[in-house]
Structure 1
């Protein structure tokens, strides 16, 4: 039995759409840990007109590039200026002023503890 052209067309469209990522990341700030082994990266993520910009934070090994994904530590609605300070290689403090809707806020990433202050 031959598959119908409608099935083939639907499969092709699904495959094409699932591979499309309309989001882009713009790095705002990178802060290395005291030993230089890790880095905290603040970036603005834009996923198109229906979502808008948001501010995100990822903690990754210093030699890695920022992945094209969402942040692994913090996601805030809008473009929010963040300040970061490594207290040690395993302790990061993140500060921002004002109110922002928090979509994600991790207290630890791997063996790094994250403290938030406003």
Structure 2
């Protein structure tokens, strides 16, 4: 087989492994001490999946890459109240430099809900909207 054919096949295989999802930032809040940013974003992985709402705690000013490292939810096929961005409604608020509260729509289907990331403790509250 020609080397160019093998190279083309290798590129096709590797491109199939690429992350085809896109993140759109909905809101960002810097911690009171300025060390971290909490970023709420919508993640869209194409026509075969719905939008999800995700939260990451990052170094201040950083952009989310990949999925959320704190909170990941979808609307469970329309069961949860939606946000203006297409995913389930959620909001976040810093309570202290090391404490973040995330409120999210009741009936959201949760895929990730971590209690601590990067030294920040996270509390949660379901909200009926």
Give the TM-score normalised by structure 1.
0.85
Choose the corresponding residue for 1:105, options 110, 113, 121: 113
Q: Measure, in 1, the Cα distance between the counterparts of 2:72 and 2:2.
A: 43
Query: Does structure 2 conserve the Cα–Cα contact (< 8 Å) formed by 1:24 and 1:68?
Result: no
1:5 Cα shift? 4.7
Post-superposition Cα deviations, 1:39-75, rounded to whole Å, max 9, x if no partner, equal 11100000001122100000111132x1331000000
Q: Measure, in 2, the Cα distance between the counterparts of 1:63 and 1:113.
A: 19
Correspondence for 2:83: none
Give the TM-score normalised by structure 2.
0.78
> Which residues in structure 2 correspond to 1:1-118 (within 5 Å)?
4-5=1-2, 8=6, 9-18=8-17, 20-64=18-62, 66-78=63-75, 79-118=87-126
1:59 to 1:10, Cα distance in 2 relative to 1, 3 A: same
Q: Specify every segment of 5 or more residues in structure 2 that has no aligned partner in the other structure, as ranges.
A: 76-86
1:22 Cα shift? 1.6
